[in-house]
Amino acid sequence: MQLWERFSLSFDNRMPIYRQITLQFSRAFVRGEIKPGERIPSIRELSALIKVNTNTVQRAYQEMERDGLIGSKRGMGYYFTEDTNMTVKTRRDLALDSLRCFVGEMRALGLADSEIVAELTSFVEGEASNEAGS
Amino acid sequence: MQLWERFSLSFDNRMPIYRQITLQFSRAFVRGEIKPGERIPSIRELSALIKVNTNTVQRAYQEMERDGLIGSKRGMGYYFTEDTNMTVKTRRDLALDSLRCFVGEMRALGLADSEIVAELTSFVEGEASNEAGS
Amino acid sequence: MQLWERFSLSFDNRMPIYRQITLQFSRAFVRGEIKPGERIPSIRELSALIKVNTNTVQRAYQEMERDGLIGSKRGMGYYFTEDTNMTVKTRRDLALDSLRCFVGEMRALGLADSEIVAELTSFVEGEASNEAGS
Amino acid sequence: MQLWERFSLSFDNRMPIYRQITLQFSRAFVRGEIKPGERIPSIRELSALIKVNTNTVQRAYQEMERDGLIGSKRGMGYYFTEDTNMTVKTRRDLALDSLRCFVGEMRALGLADSEIVAELTSFVEGEASNEAGS
DNA sequence: GTGGTCTAGACCACG
DNA sequence: GTGGTCTAGACCACC
């Protein structure tokens, strides 16, 4: 089973579809499931697979191209960048965004840094015990 | 200087303005800067203060009323709820949302729970040293 | 007569329409015909004026937004950046692109730098005499 | 090492590949690196050398043949024209195109003709000093 | 009213 | 076959 077939989109308006697509690609790239230089599905292929309009996929690809994540070779499709630094850069960018957002929100709630860490650890442990119990 | 005058809004399309307003109120409430039962500015007052459309403030107040955070006394304005449990409930809701979002994103990047905690601690420590250095 | 009504588009496939739009805006901005902070026509207005689809104008505006030239205020339209440095930066970027392209091409033809300058001066002078003669 | 092996193509969508090929031939011809009457590689040879589709090379050759730059002797390959006037004509055509494009763009930026010349001289001098410094 | 997203369908240039 | 552009028209959230 292909990676792209597992793409799960939510149509709940919380995030535009084209943004969800770029996110899924970025994550797969960061996790190493897409290798540098690897070809990704053509616009038409992916749009058929995940059942969204070609224009939507097109836009997603455009955004990734603008970010230097992928490049298009005329008439041959899109390929992920060969630049191996890009995967670590992408991971750091995504992680930093999440960290900043999370820490900013928790501090705005009045929590000290130590409390934020405590909340996080108790949260992941709590989830773990839920898993065990269920 | 009033609390409301410090409301800082960003017009960068990431979050609707009415949502930013409710967030700022919620946080101030959670931090204890707004006491239970305290009166908040009228719609016209606030819209003049932070220079947004009255409709926008109107909607923000509606949402907070719907969430039981504030209530209106007809002709006398809006007041925060007297229910002291509300502040702890609000804090927990906001914190949980952030936690879920953050942990979900970091896991999608391929990080194990222990790594997530490590990233967080190094992030807040890094920021602390930056502050000290600047 | 408004600036936008003078926008002249060529549908000769040499340059996509949305690109022509951004170019015209950039040039007008560089020439000082659009002031920093000034509002530009809404997507629907401009698309009606120059008779292209709203999506096309939308895309042009998006590109300019991504380049930091304009910003959108929700429900209120698009505004050029207040940053006065942007106009000089934009001029320099556009001029440098042209210079690099031009010089590169002339050198590829085997011309020395001094010859390139000579060609240019004789070209603009030749045009001037044409004007006088006609 | 053959001239053709130094053909550098950019796949960055700015210019179709077949156009890049004709350009490289034209420039080499203008610079005198290809003599009138000289044979050029067969379509298959060149397409193998520079790793593009034979159709692409085919089209490039067609365009050059249409422009009278090359001619085919059936079964014996393609040869550049013997017409020695062609090299000066080609140079002038290419130079004029560049000049028109460059001057047009700079004027659209609001520069007077004298300023355009000034920009050009300072640009080539600036590059020269960069070279010396590096 | 504004911008933003999505769809369906068309046409083109390119390889 | 590929990507790229454009249109017409729809719907939504927001101000």
Residue B134 scores a pLDDT above 60: no
* Degrees to nearest 5, angle at CA D56 with D52 and D59: 155
Q: List the structure tokens of D90.
A: 């080609």
pLDDT in tens, C62-118: 999 999 999 998 889 999 999 999 999 999 999 999 999 999 999 999 999 999 999
pLDDT in tens, D63-82: 999 999 999 887 889 999 99
What value does the mean pLDDT of chain C take? 92
Instruction: Count CB pairs under 8 A between chains A and B.
Output: 78
Which protein residue has its CA closest to C1' of E5? A16
| Nucleotides in chain F with any atom closer than 7 Å to protein CB | 1-10, 12-15
What type of residue sits at position A56? Answer: T
Question: Going by beta carbons, is chain B in contact with chain D, meaning 3 or more pairs sit under 8 Å apart?
Answer: no
Q: Which residues contact C14 (CB under 8 A, 6 or more apart)?
A: none
The reply to whether C76 has its C-beta less than 7 Å from any atom of strand F is yes
The reply to whether A75 has its C-beta less than 7 Å from any atom of strand F is yes
DSSP string over A72-99: EETTTEEEE-S-THHHHHHHHHHHHHHH
Q: List helix spans (H) across chain D.
A: 17-30, 43-50, 54-66, 85-108, 113-133
Residues of A in contact with B116 (CB under 8 A): 120, 124
Q: How would you label D113-125 residue by residue, b for 16+ Cβ within 10 Å and e otherwise?
A: beebbebbbebbe
Residues of chain A below pLDDT 50? none
Neighbours of chain D (3+ CB pairs under 8 A): A, C
* Degrees to nearest 5, angle at CA B14 with A32 and B119: 40
Residue D129 scores a pLDDT above 70: yes
Residues of B in contact with C73 (CB under 8 A): 11
Interface of B with A (CB under 8 A): 27, 30-32, 91, 94-95, 98-99, 101-103, 105-106, 108-111, 113, 116-117, 119-121, 123-124, 127-128
Give the residues across from C81 on adjacent strands: none
In this structure, are residues B57 and B15 in contact, taking their beta carbons and an 8 Å threshold? no
Band of pLDDT at residue D123, cut at 50, 70 and 90: very high
Which protein residue has its CA closest to C1' of E14? A75
Say what the pLDDT of residue D132 is. 67
Rounded to an integer, the average pLDDT of C122-126 is 92
Neighbours of D49 (CB within 10 A): 14
Q: Do D17 and A74 touch (CB under 8 A)?
A: yes
pLDDT in tens, A107-132: 999 999 999 999 999 999 987 777 66
Among B11, A16, B20, residue whose Cα is nearest residue C71: B11
Q: Which of B9, B10, B13, B14 best probes binding to C when mutated, by most C CB atoms within 10 angstroms?
A: B13
- In angstroms, the separation between the Cα of residue B10 and the nearest Cα of chain A is 14
d(CA A58, CA A115): 44
Map B82-93 to HEC letters. CCCHHHHHHHHH
Q: List the structure tokens of A113.
A: 């840094």
Residue D1 scores a pLDDT above 70: no
Distance A52 CA to E9 C1' (A): 14
The reply to whether C46 has its C-beta less than 7 Å from any atom of strand F is no
Residues of A in contact with B117 (CB under 8 A): 117, 120-121, 124
Give the residues across from D15 on adjacent strands: none
Say what the pLDDT of residue C28 is. 95
Alpha-carbon dihedral of residues A44, A45, A48, A52, nearest 10 degrees?
-60
Residues of A in contact with D13 (CB under 8 A): 72, 74
